[in-house]
Amino acid sequence: MQQIVGGSMATKHSKDLDPAPASRAAPTPEADAVTPGADAVPTPGARAVTTPGADAAAARLRRVSAAVARLADERIDYRFKGLPPDADGDTVGALAAARRSLFTGGFTTPVLALSAESVEHNVRLMETYAQRHRLAFAPHGKTSMAPRLFEQQLAHGAWGITAALPSHVRVYRAFGIQRIFLANEVVDPAALRWLAAELTADPDFRLICYVDSVRGVELMDAALRAAGTGRPIDVVVELGAGAGARTGARTEAECFAIADAVAEVGTLRLVGVAGYEGEVPKADDASVRAWLRQLIALVAEFDRAGRFGADPSEIVVSAGGSAWFDAVAEVFAEVPELSGPVLKLLRSGAYVSHDDGHYRELTPFNRVPDEGALQPAFRLWTQVISRPTAEQAFINAGKRDAAYDLHLPMPQVVRDARTGEIRPAAGITLTGLSDQHGWLHTEPGTRLEVGDWVGLGLSHPCTSFDKWQLIPLVESDGTVTDLIRTFF
């Protein structure tokens, strides 16, 4: 159980759980990577205080760090596109330690690069943001499916990691993650059997899962009873984000019926409410805030009606992707006093790499620039393999390599094959993608030759990460310092 902490941003009447007890120390696998206490800081700048919560977070982080460290033993080979063929047989750890250049160190195009500085900046920024607004943070892990980034997020104060599927939970558990928020109803008996076994085997594993229907509750209960679960699964009722939205119960009456169904079974325990404002149809500031207010009204109603029991140890309210966390922070600050401490859980995922398209337009930091700015961390390096006309060029990356579901990639820079000079990609537009080709249009007089590298900005982190299994983490001068393994 987390400490309840005070702080200048705390509302007088709401009992918030300490949102960020983990360590800010850079995790190193073997060493005692964390400084307990350095993070039990409710507001940035406040004096560090050691708390049992911080010690527990440090222990959780050590477990993840140890598992992530083992990724360094994996061998480089043909499975991982873009990596140097002459590194075949080397371990990931050895390749990272070699600090090769992305441009001259034998990497082959196309190759996706993730900026080490930008990822660190983004992770720190959201840690600070969550602390300032007294939110706990369970970044959505489906964005990257990269345990090495989960470790970084946990090291920077994340409460736990959000999952969309039981298969995600399996990956997270394989890397020692102890707190998982599963933002979907699970009605697959085989998956529930596995979850029950995992919960029974590890008393420290905390799982919170959506329920959004009475039928769902019945199916979960039947599967969990058949599995002989050792303890109930904590559930939150999902409130749909309005008419025409995605999952989630549509009315308060339906939410109460689901809560009643949960109360009747011994295999589930109601701990709160949740939803996803990113699915509010035609979302704007007013409609998102109106829906968020419905969500906090629901939790207050549940609490008044005793649906969380007589003396709940924790009441969970969760929402928030990467487009509306400013509204979430403001509306969650209005949660009234409830009968137990409230865990206000934000679940942004895309922020970790941010992007050059969709999220660049939608980021809440456009509305609250005083609170910071995320940095786009991806650049897809491609090579011109054909320049058949003065207006046309073709690069060797296509739909297999780049996100294209929201916007096409954007040429940003050219690395001249003759000189190594990097210049802005002025006059170059990407007009289409084939499976393995990118179609470039060039304006008259544009300098671009076969052999030049073209660096693309991408739109949509989730569909960028999933096309790459081992992604070079690159410093601003092009030095590769690590490789990020993804598990999709």
Q: Which residues bind ligand PLP (CB under 6 A)?
A: 140, 143, 183, 276, 278, 321-323, 347-350
Is 279 or 301 the residue whose CB approaches ligand PLP more closely?
279
Task: Supply the DSSP symbol for 483.
Answer: E
Smallest distance, ligand PLP to C-beta of residue 450, A: 38
Smallest distance, ligand PLP to C-beta of residue 194, A: 21
Give CA–CA dist 11/135, Å, rounded: 12
Is 176 or 275 the residue whose CB approaches ligand PLP more closely?
275
Smallest distance, ligand PLP to C-beta of residue 440, A: 29
Is 113 or 163 the residue whose CB approaches ligand PLP more closely?
163
In sequence order, the 6+-apart residues with CB closer than 8 A to the CB of 240 are 212, 246, 247, 248, 249, 250, 275, 279
Helix (DSSP H) and strand (DSSP E) numbers for the chain:
12, 18
Smallest distance, ligand PLP to C-beta of residue 282, A: 17
Is 107 or 276 the residue whose CB approaches ligand PLP more closely?
276
Q: What are phi and psi of 182, to 5 degrees?
A: -100, 105
Buried b (16+ CB within 10 A) or exposed e, 437-449: bbbbebeeebebe
Q: Long-range contact list for 70-75, CB < 8 A, 24+ apart?
A: 71/147, 71/148, 71/485, 72/29, 72/96, 74/485
Question: Taking the mean position of all CA atoms in its chain, how far away is CA 327?
Answer: 18
In sequence order, the 6+-apart residues with CB closer than 8 A to the CB of 248 are 212, 238, 239, 240, 241, 275, 276
Is 349 or 409 the residue whose CB approaches ligand PLP more closely?
349
Smallest distance, ligand PLP to C-beta of residue 350, A: 4
Smallest distance, ligand PLP to C-beta of residue 271, A: 17
Is 228 or 281 the residue whose CB approaches ligand PLP more closely?
281
Smallest distance, ligand PLP to C-beta of residue 256, A: 22
Smallest distance, ligand PLP to C-beta of residue 99, A: 31
Which tokens belong to 416?
Answer: 């001249």
Give CA–CA dist 210/270, Å, rounded: 10
In sequence order, the 6+-apart residues with CB closer than 8 A to the CB of 464 are 112, 353, 355, 378, 380, 402, 403, 458
Please name the amino acid found at residue 213.
S
Is 134 or 168 the residue whose CB approaches ligand PLP more closely?
168
Is 115 or 143 the residue whose CB approaches ligand PLP more closely?
143
Is 169 or 196 the residue whose CB approaches ligand PLP more closely?
169
Is 54 or 161 the residue whose CB approaches ligand PLP more closely?
161
DSSP 100-143: -BTTTSS--SSEEEEEHHHHHHHHHHHHHHHHHTT-EE--BTTT
Smallest distance, ligand PLP to C-beta of residue 124, A: 17
Question: Taking the mean position of all CA atoms in its chain, how far away is CA 96?
Answer: 24
Q: Are 250 and 243 in contact (CB under 8 A)?
A: yes
Tell the burial category of 168 from Cβ atoms under 10 Å away from its Cβ (0-12, 13-18, 19+). Answer: buried
Q: Would you give the end-to-end CA distance of the chain in angstroms? A: 32
Smallest distance, ligand PLP to C-beta of residue 89, A: 37
Name the residue with the smallest CB distance to ligand PLP.
Answer: 321
Is 221 or 355 the residue whose CB approaches ligand PLP more closely?
355
Tokens 């009722």 sit on residue: 237
CA proximity to 180, closest of 201, 152, 210, 155: 210
Is 135 or 350 the residue whose CB approaches ligand PLP more closely?
350
Smallest distance, ligand PLP to C-beta of residue 223, A: 22
Smallest distance, ligand PLP to C-beta of residue 240, A: 11
